[in-house]
Amino acid sequence: MPSANNAAIVEISQTANQFRSSIVLQYDNKYIDVKSILGLFTTLLSSGSYELHVHGADADEAKKAMAEVFAKHQLAIQIVED
């Protein structure tokens, strides 16, 4: 899996910030708030397996939008259905 570039990280964070839901990226044993650009920079610069956890009133819309933006930048994620 390729690592994210700066444009991808900014777009992912901006997309997440459109929603009220909590959007958290899990990588190894780390949990990163996707709305935090700094957190994404430290996490998405390495390749690996990512899980996305989305909780809140607009979670369904957020999951769809986040899946689209990650796919656009060729970043593989698994959206966890809790």
Identify the pLDDT of residue 1.
46
Point out the residues of the chain with pLDDT beneath 50: 1
Identify the pLDDT of residue 2.
53
Identify the pLDDT of residue 21.
98
Identify the pLDDT of residue 62.
98
Residue 74 has φ and ψ, to the nearest 5°, of 55, 40
Residue type present at position 62: A
CB 66 within 8 A of CB 34: yes
d(CA 15, CA 27): 19
Identify the pLDDT of residue 28.
84
Identify the pLDDT of residue 43.
80
Yes or no: domain 6-80 corresponds to CATH 3.40.390.10: no
d(CA 82, CA 71): 21
CA-wise closest residue to 46 among 27, 19, 21, 70: 27
